[in-house]
Amino acid sequence: MSSTETFWAEPKPTALLVLADGTVIEGFGLGAEGRAVAEVCFNTAMTGYEEILTDPSYAGQIITFTFPHIGNVGTNEEDIESVNMAATPGACGVILHAAITRPSNFRATRHLDAWLKARNIIGLGGIDTRALTGLIRAKGMPNAVIAHARDGKFDLDALKKEAAAWPGLVGMDLVPQVTSGQRFTWTETEWVWGQGYGRQENPDLNVVAIDYGIKRNILRLLAGIGANVTVVPATTAAEDILALKPDGVFLSNGPGDPAATGKYAVPVIEALIEKDIPTFGICLGHQMLGLAVGGTTKKMHQGHHGANHPVKDLETGKVEITSMNHGFAVDRDSLPGNVKETHVSLFDGSNCGLAMTDRPVFSVQYHPEASPGPRDSHYLFRRFAGLMRDRKSA
């Protein structure tokens, strides 16, 4: 579909969002047909919708974009963030306010509607996303079913029952849906204007990245600091990681409840920390590192999803504009004495970073590989490289 009129010309609604409390929101369908049950969140980013929709951390979620115009630069094959193309692509649904406009960008290769169909993502458009966002802010992120049928026929009672019966993300381990099935090596570096993506050909560091749902740009920045990156599945044993002789270990982002994934991931992280291997975690990796050092995590009311989140570095006093996507957080009050809080959110004061005082181990809740600042947080990758080189020289 290439015209805006195509979506909004139907005489009756062709898509629904049915909340667990029985609320029904009607709109017009786009993308794939069918239905999906998930948690509904809102994202405040104005750009980067393709990267957001392909972030594996969004598995089990339906994204409501607060910015009204989504799709105006189309889609392309370079901005996809998911590494494991055979796995769940990320978000299972998307909710928009305005009709998708015709792509207007020299990099565009496909209309967003066609792209959503190809990735089996269900879309709902033409609704008041401000009202839905207000509902989420007041009541928290609801469980819901998003459904799209071209003929506009729905079994409303069945959809209500399905939404009400879904248990939600607490206690849910979604990492098996998005992690890589086998080990592989990554050498691609970040994109440069006029050159495209580069290649790391002279690495002096060996990094093992544990894939809980890793994003491509994280891997590019790891390669960019001089690392040969070996990506391993989420269930890889500590002995197998140590056998690769890493200079450092990276704990990736990912979806679901960190406490559920931590049942098998935390013992591995604990064993790596005991070896004094420099360790860096992002997002879910941050939360599971918090668990591994003795802390706890908790479900957030509305989560943090967007590209305009101010975070204060308590070490320097500087404020970074960051990209975030998480519905769980590390409870700072649960952290032991040998762990210090390094970053906090200036929106709600929640924990956004930690570091061990007696080990070369640190993590952040936000996504430093994203570019809202645009490079405010890249120093974290250089810090990781410094820890690895210090250990090698020692």
The residues carrying an active-site annotation are 283, 367, 369
Cα–Cα–Cα angle for 181, 190, 46, nearest 5°?
90
Q: Give the tokens for residue 325.
A: 């996507």
Q: Which residues contact 249 (CB under 8 A, 6 or more apart)?
A: 207, 208, 209, 210, 241, 272, 277, 278, 279, 280
Q: Is the dihedral of CA 8, 14, 15, 20 positive or negative?
A: positive
CA distances from 280 to 207, 226, 328, 352 (A): 10, 15, 19, 13
| Proportion of the chain in helix, strand, coil states, percent, rounded to 5 | 25, 30, 40
Half-sphere exposure of 392 (CA within 13 A, CB side): 14
**Helix (DSSP H) and strand (DSSP E) numbers for the chain:** 11, 19
* Helix, strand or coil, per DSSP, at residue 313: strand
Q: Give the tokens for residue 334.
A: 């649960």
Phi, psi values for residue 169, rounded to 5°? -80, -20
Q: Which residues contact 377 (CB under 8 A, 6 or more apart)?
A: 320, 322, 364, 366, 367, 368
* Helix, strand or coil, per DSSP, at residue 278: coil
- Report the distance separating Cα 127 and Cα 95, nearest Å: 8
